[in-house]
Structure 1
């Protein structure tokens, strides 16, 4: 360690001590209150802001998340100006917070399914299935334009879950995109933009149970007993951001126009020589894994395990919901399961009640067994080798698990300090009716960006939005528009946030540096969100029909891309 390093450590330590002392002083002088949102005031924004700003400055996601969690726990632990005591209590609370997140059944299921899918991807790669599938896709996707459109289409196909989308589509399309000199950043954007935006509006997905239950409960609070699913369907045309971001991918792919940091990333990727390997982006991934030497490549070594994962997930979703309903007390749902379990209504009802994290884990476990058996029966690997490769694939995902745990912990401590309640409190008052859908969209985006969770944002805002919208204008169409603002704003903020789990998984699945992914994607997300507001939610607040808003938004989006962007040419090789 040289003198400069010692000086840096000394300066950082001194600055940290001073900052913690000032923070302690501000907290101890604040009026006492049982509500932390009132007690801390604007300081409630500190934990997410510290994590987000540090992530952009240092490009160290784990360190930034850790410090963000620590700052939040420190705030909760402060009782006096003894910063040493507060810091020790904060560190102990941080450990309990992380363990609590890991002990949560939903979180544990997500981490385990990620590990298992990592093992499947490695087995598929070693069996040559990934290369065979990439070669087959490359025959059709022989230009960046076609490759991006195929990636977009695959993202639509894996509609049922955003996590599964990120972990399946990214590894399949990465070698194709690399061969065609499309940047990892662009691939990560397409994967991320077809994850939550698709799952959030799909009528069969792991999201729908939460969405329709929140809608139904919100209407109950104003004395209306409505079908949550029926209202959900009515919100789909008003999900302007979801719809426009999916159309934006197609326009960008067809025109090859890019702007902002994404343009630079694409230009650098195009300049790469065929013999030159893809620039290392310091991201976890499967780049170094190669098929077993001398084996015959077959696309079935990819299609069967991945198909098992997808089909198995849908079956597991149904069975999970079916058993949960029959074990519950809702007689109306039980009657549906007993009378017509395989009707559209029965299937939809079961899927909407399923435990997605358990179902995906079960599907991933089944697909893992299928992949191992295929490797052994084809004599590509022995049982011991296949299991070793499966475990090796899990190791690649471990860093993602660490990031997810810290992101969830940050979400937990943000809840403790009252960040979301503070944001709602300062933004909800004194508003004209026509701006309410836009305000709700923006508020949802801010909360989701700061907390990294769209689920949590929906859960916070929906109970407030429906009564507020009804009080402002007792018109069902207006309330539906405001409801869509909650669901869509949460997805937009989550899409931009560097501490979002889906953003993290998209980076991992495409082997793209996480902060590079965030920095290139955020320009496109904000561009589309502005159009969604100006040509979607503001006109809709005045009662303009969606079938007018969306076409106008698409036209403006196309013109904006042509004005702001520049075509990144591709030289086709013989």
Structure 2
């Protein structure tokens, strides 16, 4: 039945291309205007197929293929040639995605951290950490709270969060019989949501830069970082999602597919759905000498990863700023190299993909030397373990490449532009922030990128909010906050988002199972963000009154919808 449905979806998509033809000059002016809603076909196909087949690679490939066919067909090509040329174009998109320095850095970072984790595991470090944490984690409540706390501590980058917390907490979580879907959710919910609002992170430069550019476009000079700080109380989704994790962890209350996953883990002992394939290459690494297993075999390499990441963010960002055109900022960094402003600006200007790869490589060398000096393995064996650890994450690299390629196809089709055009020219001020939040969520869910969504909406949101309520700076700040948090909401829920992919990989969960269980939670928190957050704010209610109300609504929702599932107790 599933196979028939899959092929029906593919064939239906192909035939949708046939009714219209558009001349080349019309395509060149604006493809999104020419084909309208058909720009949504690639992400819709990819997402539907992912849920139907649970095969992410196939789903992303078909999504890309449908997009390349659309572009070929609307370039005055017949359908057969469109199919042929569209297939050939797929290779170009994948090659271009791999050739992008940022993407290449992420792939190298992911694989290198995979090798590092393999070394740590083989030295017994992961086992020792798990045993140590297990003594503190007396049950599923404390295990989840510790996972949440680790996610908060690694606030500086969402990728590092997903890649570090999962392998550390997975053995502890497994011992408490917590489903891998639940672990993936806790990891994912403390990745982008905390990195997006952290005072210093790899996100900060991009977010502050967008705010500054948007204000300059309407002729206003502002302290962009100050505006960023003012948006934090309006980042309802980020704040409420962090609260939601704590409340559900403390009460053990679940609802929807997550409740079923937790009940499955409790009743059958199956941490993952036996009908689902875990695409992460999750394999047990042999501990070479259990008697020499030490917590320091994990703490030193992972601590090195964090320390060298911080140093790398500073040095890389500093170099970028000093070689740039902003002489005032360069002077500030030179005069006050360790000030908060300098650290903030250097972190924001750094290339996180390269820095984390470099830090992971140095940490891998440290782990390798530690293993050799402890006579756990020789250099040849250590390198073999490291390479095998990289191999286990090869499928993650493939999924990321396909997700980025799909994003490129949608960028050329103008998917985001079409969605933005749906906003219309007139909108009641009271609905602006809510609509921006929803539109940001739809775009980032469809494209799998929060950065891209922020870049599209911020230049529109601030001028529009200023025009609708010219004398109300809080209204403009609220709208900017809606852009930033709406983008994270959609990205957090999307099966083609890199952070979603990495979180499921780190937890050892099936990607689609992770999305299916997480999506209702994201929608619930997103709904509260609108109903109890953005609508009252737009009506003029004070933000410091609204925040406690949203907290109360989130807690009430957990108790109303949720039912307690203690995975350590048999039903």
Normalising by structure 1, we get a TM-score of: 0.95
- 1:23 matched to 2:17? The reply is yes
Alpha-carbon distance in structure 2 between the residues aligned to 1:129 and 1:520:
31
Alpha-carbon distance in structure 1 between the residues aligned to 2:204 and 2:11:
46
Shift of 1:278: 6.4
Alpha-carbon distance in structure 1 between the residues aligned to 2:158 and 2:14:
38
Alpha-carbon distance in structure 2 between the residues aligned to 1:381 and 1:344:
43
1:564 equivalent in structure 2: 561
Which stretch shifts more, 563-572 or 406-415? 563-572
Alpha-carbon distance in structure 2 between the residues aligned to 1:14 and 1:565:
37
Shift of 1:545: 1.9
Matched residue SS, 1:26: coil
2:489 equivalent in structure 1: 492
Shift of 1:271: 2.0
- Among 528, 534, 549, which residue is 1:552 paired with? 549
Q: Deviations over 1:59-104 (max 9, x none)?
A: 1101000010111111111134622211121112111111001000
For residues 452-463 of structure 1, the aligned pairs below 5 Å read 452-463=448-459
- Kept after mapping to 1: 8 A contact 2:272/2:509: no
Shift of 1:286: 3.8
Shift of 1:526: 0.4
For residues 26-41 of structure 1, the aligned pairs below 5 Å read 26-28=20-22, 32-33=26-27, 34-41=29-36
- Kept after mapping to 2: 8 A contact 1:25/1:81: no
Q: Structure 1 residues 18 and 46, CA, compared in 2 at 3 Å: closer, same or farther? A: closer
Alpha-carbon distance in structure 1 between the residues aligned to 2:267 and 2:8:
45
- Among 115, 121, 139, which residue is 1:119 paired with? 115
2:520 equivalent in structure 1: 523
Normalising by structure 2, we get a TM-score of: 0.96
Matched residue SS, 1:427: coil
Q: Deviations over 1:474-502 (max 9, x none)?
A: 21110000000000000000011010000
- Kept after mapping to 1: 8 A contact 2:57/2:402: yes
- 1:317 matched to 2:310? The reply is no
- 1:178 matched to 2:212? The reply is no
- Kept after mapping to 1: 8 A contact 2:266/2:569: no
Alpha-carbon distance in structure 1 between the residues aligned to 2:256 and 2:10:
34
Q: Deviations over 1:422-480 (max 9, x none)?
A: 11111243211011010100010000000000000000101111111100112111000
Matched residue SS, 1:217: helix
Q: Deviations over 1:360-419 (max 9, x none)?
A: 111111111111111111111110111001000101111011101110111101011111
Alpha-carbon distance in structure 1 between the residues aligned to 2:345 and 2:420:
32
Which stretch shifts more, 476-485 or 293-302? 293-302
Q: Structure 1 residues 553 and 429, CA, compared in 2 at 3 Å: closer, same or farther? A: same
Q: Structure 1 residues 530 and 371, CA, compared in 2 at 3 Å: closer, same or farther? A: same
Matched residue SS, 1:25: coil
1:345 equivalent in structure 2: 341
1:266 equivalent in structure 2: 262
- 1:75 matched to 2:70? The reply is yes
Alpha-carbon distance in structure 2 between the residues aligned to 1:528 and 1:72:
32
Which stretch shifts more, 262-271 or 280-289? 280-289
Shift of 1:293: 3.9
2:506 equivalent in structure 1: 509
Alpha-carbon distance in structure 2 between the residues aligned to 1:256 and 1:15:
39
- 1:221 matched to 2:217? The reply is yes
Matched residue SS, 1:24: coil
Q: Deviations over 1:299-353 (max 9, x none)?
A: 1111011111111101100000111111112101110121111122222221121
1:300 equivalent in structure 2: 296
Shift of 1:555: 1.2
Count of equivalent residues: 565
Which stretch shifts more, 78-87 or 502-511? 78-87
Q: Structure 1 residues 257 and 31, CA, compared in 2 at 3 Å: closer, same or farther? A: farther
2:86 equivalent in structure 1: 90
Alpha-carbon distance in structure 2 between the residues aligned to 1:125 and 1:326:
40
1:53 equivalent in structure 2: 48
- Kept after mapping to 1: 8 A contact 2:263/2:567: no
- Among 326, 329, 337, which residue is 1:330 paired with? 326
Shift of 1:523: 0.6
Gaps of 5+ in 2: none
Alpha-carbon distance in structure 2 between the residues aligned to 1:166 and 1:272:
27
Gaps of 5+ in 1: none
1:158 equivalent in structure 2: 154
Q: Deviations over 1:182-224 (max 9, x none)?
A: 1100000000000000000011111111100000000000101
1:386 equivalent in structure 2: 382
Q: Deviations over 1:546-568 (max 9, x none)?
A: 22112111211112111111111
Alpha-carbon distance in structure 1 between the residues aligned to 2:200 and 2:300:
22
Alpha-carbon distance in structure 2 between the residues aligned to 1:498 and 1:569:
28
- Kept after mapping to 2: 8 A contact 1:28/1:81: no
Q: Structure 1 residues 15 and 536, CA, compared in 2 at 3 Å: closer, same or farther? A: closer
- Kept after mapping to 2: 8 A contact 1:155/1:169: yes
